[in-house]
Amino acid sequence: MKFYNVNILPVSMKLQNGVIIMAFLMCCFSFSNAQLAGKKNTIYLYGQITNTLNGGPIKYHPLSVASDSSYNPAFYYFRELMTDAEGYFYDTISTYFNKGALTVSTIDYLTGYHDTTIYFRFNWSEENYLFADFVLPVEPPAIIYQANFYYLKNPSGLNTSEYQFFDITNSTDIAWREWNFGDGCFSDEVNPVHIYNEPGVYRVKLKVSIQPTPYSIPYFSEIVKIINVSIKSYFTLGGHVKAGYFPIDIGEAYLYKIENNDIVMIDTAVFNDELGYYYFYQVIEGQYLVKADLGPESSLFNQYMNTYYANKPVWTEADTIFLFNDNFECDIELIPITAMNQGPGLIAGSIIFGYDPDNGKGVPAGNVEILLFNDNNEPLICSHSSEEGIFSFSNLELGSFKIHAEVTGKYTYPVQVTLTANNPEVDEITITIGNYSVSGTINVNGVGENLWIHNAGNIYPNPASDFVNLDVAFAETGVSEIILVGSNGQVIKVCNQIINSGVNNLNFDISSLPAGIYYINVNYHKEGIIKKFIKK
């Protein structure tokens, strides 16, 4: 990003055009607002103080900027500032924190207190441009005429770099006017439309000549306003979370961004608000998922499930939030756990992240939600894995169940479990969180139960344009269900294919698909594998 006519900042500073996306963090961990290792971010704060009488700038007025400890207790900052001759104040703040809040405050001439809180976030860039304006009462000036204007961004709805400016000078006797848009362009129109060629911070000046009569001496007045011409806009996202009739007591809301066909966790909002509200500030426009969960300290923990916006238990069913303005109505009602008849059944196991060759085993995945589904794919109850990755469901009635580990952004193959009078306990389940999917096995005497598949290679070619291939070695002949899934979880195509024992080459025509990321699910004997490919 370039700076124009802003003397306090170096012209060489640039805002990266690309969006900086944080590394994928699993939903089972709390998102920390700790310092980014060795990486300093910069906040550029702009503000103008004008008066209520005619909109003119208030010169040389004191104010202060302080960190808001209620939003991020670890972030501390304080500075006293003074407006310049155009009523503007500026500040440059360096911080290692990824997010935080600042309170800007001032006092008017009647000792009235005024403040505003602004939020910063560095998911998208290492620089953040914040604005905080005040309109204060003042004593009546000797001269009442004052140039003034306001503006609208993207008035046509077709170009985010288009602005329309409106002259609201408090006089009908304007002899001439001059607009300076800060990029070398000028206009003498009353309400001009201007399109900026580059994003940046611009100083827009309106200068007018006021002449009440042809023979009176002209009075000249001007005003400057700073605008941030950006390709992207930032908004606040929030909502109300309820557990039954009551607001959630202690819990978290998780924010996931759908970015380039991936789902990335951006932030968490921890709250013990008696009203159960969550807020995510300074969120860039785009597509998001939001999930809410009770905290382990909650009196209702494990009585309600993780629930996504639109009141869904799994991310593939959740509604996408299209954020293009402030939205405070993304309410979530947590799904209650179903009352079940008790019985002698037990289902238990462990969940791990991949495989650690140094230890010869997987890394335990703690605090992952494990859902118990019935044969109709309806969620019954839930549990959370311990720090050691252990989970269990006890006192179950006999019957068939599916174990589903809910990891946002990864496709889960549930583990099919049947409890019988002869085998009421299944306690050797291992669920593995892989790069793109979550799958599990039931171990019997140390051997996985899903022996129907001997070996599955990777999809090739990958990326591909017209066709992809997958070689799978099956243990027996039968019919396999093959599902093509889009990156948003939508099922695109389902087909059944006869497979033979031994190696089978599965070939797929993808020529009609748009470019993007896709998954092929191969199901057999209620087990399955997932393979990812990219369509060019």
Q: Looking at residue 213, what is its pLDDT?
A: 83
Q: How many CA atoms lie within 13 A of 217 on its CB side?
A: 0
Per-residue pLDDT, averaged over 197-223, amounts to 92
In degrees to the nearest 10, what's the CA dihedral of 210, 216, 217, 219?
-20
| CATH architecture of structural domain 32-136 | Sandwich (2.60)
Q: Looking at residue 316, what is its pLDDT?
A: 86
Q: Report whether pLDDT(33) > 60.
A: no
Q: Looking at residue 11, what is its pLDDT?
A: 26
Helices (H), 282-435: none
Q: Report whether pLDDT(397) > 60.
A: yes
What per-residue string of b and e applies to 146-168 under the rule 16 or more CB within 10 Å gives b?
bbbbeeeeeeeeeebebbebebe
Q: Report whether pLDDT(305) > 80.
A: yes
Output the six-digit token pair for 290.
């939001």
Reported as a pLDDT band with limits 50, 70 and 90, residue 28 is very low
Residue in 303, 310, 291, 305 with CA at minimum distance from that of residue 253:
291
Q: Are strands 321-323 and 262-271 parallel, antiparallel or unpaired?
A: unpaired
In degrees to the nearest 10, what's the CA dihedral of 356, 362, 368, 370?
150
Q: Check residues 15 and 49 and name the one with the higher pLDDT.
A: 49
> Mean pLDDT lowest for which of 141-145, 449-453, 493-497?
449-453
Q: Report whether pLDDT(13) > 70.
A: no
Output the six-digit token pair for 305.
């499930």
The residue assigned the tokens 């992207």 is 232
How many distinct helices (H) and strands (E) make up the chain?
Answer: 0, 43
CATH number of 453-535: 2.60.40.1930
Pairwise CA distance, residues 233 & 283, whole Å: 8
Reported as a pLDDT band with limits 50, 70 and 90, residue 25 is very low
Partner residues linked to 57 by β-bridges? 50
Q: Report whether pLDDT(476) > 70.
A: no
**Contact between residue 52 and residue 72 where contact means Cβ atoms under 8 Å apart:** no
Q: Looking at residue 21, what is its pLDDT?
A: 27
In degrees to the nearest 10, what's the CA dihedral of 132, 136, 138, 140?
100
The residue assigned the tokens 């009421």 is 424
Q: Looking at residue 2, what is its pLDDT?
A: 43
Q: How many Å separate Cα 74 from the centre of its chain?
A: 22
Reported as a pLDDT band with limits 50, 70 and 90, residue 23 is very low
Per-residue pLDDT, averaged over 359-368, amounts to 76
Helices (H), 166-316: none
| Dihedral sign for Cα atoms in the order 260, 262, 266, 271 | positive
Partner residues linked to 180 by β-bridges? 186, 205
**Contact between residue 476 and residue 502 where contact means Cβ atoms under 8 Å apart:** no
| Dihedral sign for Cα atoms in the order 22, 435, 446, 367 | positive
Q: Are strands 425-433 and 342-356 parallel, antiparallel or unpaired?
A: parallel
User: CA separation (Å) from 449 to 35, 415, 430, 442?
Assistant: 45, 10, 11, 5
**Contact between residue 177 and residue 187 where contact means Cβ atoms under 8 Å apart:** no
Topology given in CATH for the domain delimited by 234-333: Immunoglobulin-like (2.60.40)
* Residues whose CB is less than 8 angstroms from the CB of residue 275 and which lie 6 or more positions away in sequence, other chains included: 240, 247
CATH number of 342-448: 2.60.40.10
Q: Report whether pLDDT(272) > 70.
A: no
Q: Report whether pLDDT(72) > 80.
A: yes
Most confident of 7-21, 238-252, 264-278, 392-406: 392-406
Pairwise CA distance, residues 373 & 414, whole Å: 9
Q: Do 32-136 and 234-333 fold alike per CATH?
A: yes
Q: Looking at residue 361, what is its pLDDT?
A: 59
Reported as a pLDDT band with limits 50, 70 and 90, residue 536 is confident
Q: Are strands 390-396 and 399-406 parallel, antiparallel or unpaired?
A: unpaired
Output the six-digit token pair for 261.
């066909």
Residue in 128, 109, 119, 162 with CA at minimum distance from that of residue 13:
128
Residue in 26, 8, 11 with CA at minimum distance from that of residue 367:
26
Residue 390 has what DSSP assignment? Answer: E
The residue assigned the tokens 């389940």 is 429
Q: Report whether pLDDT(165) > 90.
A: yes
Reported as a pLDDT band with limits 50, 70 and 90, residue 70 is confident
Reported as a pLDDT band with limits 50, 70 and 90, residue 180 is very high
Q: Looking at residue 236, what is its pLDDT?
A: 93
Pairwise CA distance, residues 286 & 283, whole Å: 9
Q: Looking at residue 133, what is its pLDDT?
A: 94
Q: Looking at residue 205, what is its pLDDT?
A: 97
Q: What integer best gives the mean pLDDT of the chain? A: 83
Percentage of the chain beyond pLDDT 90 is 41
Q: Looking at residue 333, what is its pLDDT?
A: 93
Give the DSSP per-residue string, 186-218.
EE--SS-EEE-SS-EEEEEEEEEEE-SSTTSPP
Pairwise CA distance, residues 46 & 8, whole Å: 11
Pairwise CA distance, residues 91 & 110, whole Å: 26
* Residues whose CB is less than 8 angstroms from the CB of residue 378 and which lie 6 or more positions away in sequence, other chains included: none
Output the six-digit token pair for 521.
């699910």
Q: Looking at residue 526, what is its pLDDT?
A: 53
Residue 316 has what DSSP assignment? Answer: G
The 3-class SS string of 48-96 reads EEEECCCCCECCCCEEEEEECCCCCCCCCCEEEEECCCCCEEEEEEEEC
In degrees to the nearest 10, what's the CA dihedral of 66, 71, 74, 79?
-10
Biggest distance spanned by C-alpha atoms of the chain: 108
| Segment holding 364, helix H or strand E | strand 361-364
- Residue spans per domain, the chain: 32-136, 234-333, 342-448, 453-535
- Per residue in 94-142, pLDDT (tens digit) is 999 888 999 999 999 999 999 999 999 888 788 889 999 999 999 887 6
Q: Looking at residue 524, what is its pLDDT?
A: 67
Q: Report whether pLDDT(14) > 60.
A: no
- Per residue in 431-474, pLDDT (tens digit) is 988 777 788 888 754 434 444 554 567 788 888 888 888 887 77
- Per residue in 381-390, pLDDT (tens digit) is 888 899 889 9
